[in-house]
Structure 1
Amino acid sequence: MRALLIVDMQNDFLPGGALAVKDGDKVIPVINKLQEKFDFILATQDWHPADHKSFADNHSGKEPGEVIKLGGTDQMLWPVHCVQDSEGAQFAKDLNRTNWKKIFKKGLNPLVDSYSGFFDNKKKEDTGLTAYLHAHNISDLYVTGLAADYCVKFTVLDALKEGFDTYLIADATRAVNLSPDDYDESLKEMSKSGAEVITSAAISF
């Protein structure tokens, strides 16, 4: 059985948001159209406490884009984004949510970031997504959303490690692109790891 997973389609990642992904809003109609083809639809939601240590504002003298050590591992510092119950953390208003089965919140622990929809960045906390997919006999996972070079990529890589046949829908994602080629490099990395990179037009079941 197959499922569509919509990653972090939240206001702060859209144009005008705190951590805006260029053209992030352009994937909304693509994702809405894709949802018509799936009976099983899930989503992830960045849901940070205000004191999250990935926020540059929570470190004196630090700016977004700087890398620090957090709990012994490298941590990119970000603008304050997707704070719990804020407008920026809400899903895009034009995104169809009618048939979603479940939303998996991530990034709740202020001491560790969480890009993947499956685990935090240290692989110590589990969102429950794997168990939920297994409980519903999902074998094929089609991944969309924001952003291709961070949360989407790490979700795809973890899905592969968890044993799911994983598809990245290239026209249903965009990248932060801190470096200009991050989108292309992310797709290459996902493909090399075993994901099938496809377009929405190729889905015809």
Structure 2
Amino acid sequence: MHVLIVVDMQNDFIDGALGTAEAVAIVPNVVKKIRDFDGIVLATKDTHGEDYLSTQEGKNLPVVHCVKGTEGWELNPSVAELIDEPAIEKPTFGSVRLGEVLAALSRKAPVEDITLIGLCTDICVISNAMIAKAYLPEVPVIVDASCCAGVTPASHNNALEAMKVCQIQVVNQE
């Protein structure tokens, strides 16, 4: 089985509190990738509470975003309509729960590969790619660069290069 992980394609990361032009630009690519994917599609959602600014992350990134129940926390509507399973909520960059879900899937049937797409390449995509690699070290982990955007174009590219060194395959990199 093939697994596609759609990381944090939420309104706040696309055109909301932490949105970027690059994030807006990848939405059509992400939608096409999900539509064309032959396998299991999982999604994650960055999830914070009203106390975000008092958390360690909030102290280092003092921009309130992805507060559970807000419009910014919701998946982009074009993406949401293509996701069948409930999104995995994660209060941190990387999701241990995602790793557990991947491990459970691999106990049911062989996982041939895991592809990650979404936001932000340099924070949550790289973190979850490393978790996927840690939970299923013999399964190829792939990141489709054309379906990812970082905080900046430079940090996006730095993350792609870091993932390559960690034996994560990067495809469709310009």
Q: TM-score over 0.5 for the alignment?
A: yes
User: What 5-or-longer segments of structure 1 have no aligned partner?
Assistant: 60-69, 108-113, 120-125, 201-205
Q: Distance in 2 between matches of 1:104 and 1:96?
A: 13
Q: Distance in 2 between matches of 1:189 and 1:151?
A: 13
Q: Distance in 2 between matches of 1:95 and 1:43?
A: 10
Change (3 A) 1:171 1:21: same
Per-residue deviation at 1:193? 0.2
User: Do 1:104 and 1:129's aligned partners in 2 also have CA atoms closer than 8 Å?
Assistant: no
Q: Distance in 2 between matches of 1:6 and 1:136?
A: 21
Per-residue deviation at 1:47? 1.4
- The one-letter code sitting in structure 2 at the alignment partner of 1:157 is M
Q: 1:115 aligns with which of 76, 87, 93?
A: 93
1:80 aligns with 2:64: yes
* Cross-structure match for 1:45: 45
Per-residue deviation at 1:99? 4.8
- The one-letter code sitting in structure 1 at the alignment partner of 2:103 is A
TM-score by length of structure 2 reads: 0.85
Change (3 A) 1:167 1:147: same
Secondary structure at 1:149 match in 2: helix
Q: 1:89 aligns with which of 46, 67, 73?
A: 73
1:184 aligns with 2:157: yes
The count of corresponding residues between Structure 1 and Structure 2 is 167
TM-score by length of structure 1 reads: 0.73
Per-residue deviation at 1:11? 0.5
* Cross-structure match for 1:133: 105
* Cross-structure match for 1:27: 26
Per-residue deviation at 1:23? 2.0
Per-residue deviation at 1:157? 1.3
* Cross-structure match for 1:62: none
Q: 1:175 aligns with which of 126, 143, 150?
A: 150
Secondary structure at 1:20 match in 2: coil
Secondary structure at 1:23 match in 2: helix
Change (3 A) 1:90 1:136: farther
Secondary structure at 1:100 match in 2: coil
Q: Distance in 1 between matches of 2:12 and 2:83?
A: 23
Write out per-residue CA displacement over residues 9-34 of structure 1, whole angstroms, 9 at most, x where no aligned residue: 0000012x111133212212111211
User: Do 1:22 and 1:176's aligned partners in 2 also have CA atoms closer than 8 Å?
Assistant: no
* Cross-structure match for 2:10: 10
Q: Distance in 1 between matches of 2:128 and 2:62?
A: 19
Structure (1/2) with the larger helix percentage: 2
RMSD: 2.2
1:143 aligns with 2:116: yes
User: What 5-or-longer segments of structure 2 have no aligned partner?
Assistant: none
Secondary structure at 2:156 match in 1: helix
- The one-letter code sitting in structure 1 at the alignment partner of 2:5 is L
Per-residue deviation at 1:184? 1.2
